[in-house]
Amino acid sequence: MLNLETLLTTGNLLYAGATTLILIGIAGMVLQRHLLRILLALTLVEAGVNLFLIAAGFRPNAAAPIAVAGQFPASMVDPIPQALVLTAIVIGVGVLALALALALQLQRHYGTLDMAAIAARLHAAPGRGSSSGLPVEPSHSGKESAS
C-alpha cells in the first residue's frame, strides 16, 4: 500500500517538481507560436533538467559539500551534480544568447517572430517537393527558357 509519508520526501518532491517543469516547458515549446515564448519554454525545460540533476545529488539532512577545518558532518550532498549543473547553466545561457541574436536578425528580415508563419515560408521554398502531390520531374527546356 502506498504510504503518503514515504512518498512525500523532499527528494521525491524535487524529482516531481523537476519533471513538472520539464513537461510545462515541452508543452510550451510545442504549443506556443511566438519565438520569445518558445525560448522561454526552452529555458523552463533546461531549468527542470538542472533541478533534476541537483535532486540526483540530494541527501536528506546533509551538509553543503564544503570542507571546513575541524568540522566533519555526518553526510554531505553529492557535489558532482552541482558541478555539472554549473556547466549546463553556462551552456544554456550561451545557447540562449545565440538564439536571441538570431531572433534579432529574424525580426529584421521578416518583421515577425511568429514561428508558424516563418516555418510556412521556409516550407514554401522551391525544391522541397513537399507541396506537390507527386514526385515532380523538372520539365524540359520550357520553364528554363521562359525564366
Partner 1 sequence: MTAEATVLLIVLPLFGAFLLPTIGRINASAAHWSGALLLALLPLLAIELWNLHSAGALPPLALGGYLAPLGIVLYPDRLSLTLVLALTLGSLLLWPRLHQNDATGRQATLMLLLVAGGNGLALAGDLFNAFVFYELVAVTSYALAAKLGSGDGYAAALRFLILSALGSALGLLGIALIYTLTGTLNFAHLAQHAAAFNSPLGITAFVLMVLGFGVKAELFPVNSWVPEVYGATSHRIAGLLAGIVSKLALLLLLRLITLLYSDVEVAGWLLFTLGLLGLISGELAAWRATDLRHTLAYSSIGQLGVMVMALSLPGESGMVALLALALHHLVVKPGLFLFSDGWHGTSLAGAARRGPWGGVLFLLFALSLIGVPPLPGFWAKLLFIREALAAGGPWLLAIAIILTATVLETAYLFRFLRRAYSRHGSAGYGAIGPDAALRASAFGATLVVGLLLLNPLTELLQQTAAEIIDTPSYIARVLDVPVEVTP
Contacting range for partner 1; rule: CB under 8 A; set: 1-9, 62-70, 80-88: 80-88
Maximum pairwise Cα distance, the chain: 88
Closest contact distance (angstroms) between CB of 129 and partner 1 is 4
Kindly report each contact of residues 77-86 with a partner whose C-beta sits within 8 Å and lies 24 or more positions away, as own/partner.
81/53, 81/54, 81/56, 81/57, 82/54, 82/57, 84/53, 85/50, 85/53, 85/54
Closest contact distance (angstroms) between CB of 116 and partner 1 is 11
Choose which of 89, 91, 93, 116 interacts with partner 1 (CB under 8 A). Answer: 91
Q: Is 120 in the site for partner 1 (CB under 8 A)?
A: no
Which residues 15-34 are close enough to bind partner 1 by CB under 8 A?
22, 26, 29
Q: Per the structure block, which three cell numbers stand in for 108?
A: 529584421
> Between 30 and 70, whose beta carbon lies closer to partner 1?
30
Choose which of 53, 62, 76, 77 interacts with partner 1 (CB under 8 A). Answer: 53
Q: Per the structure block, which three cell numbers stand in for 106?
A: 529574424
Measured CA to CA, the distance from residue 86 to residue 93 in angstroms comes to 11
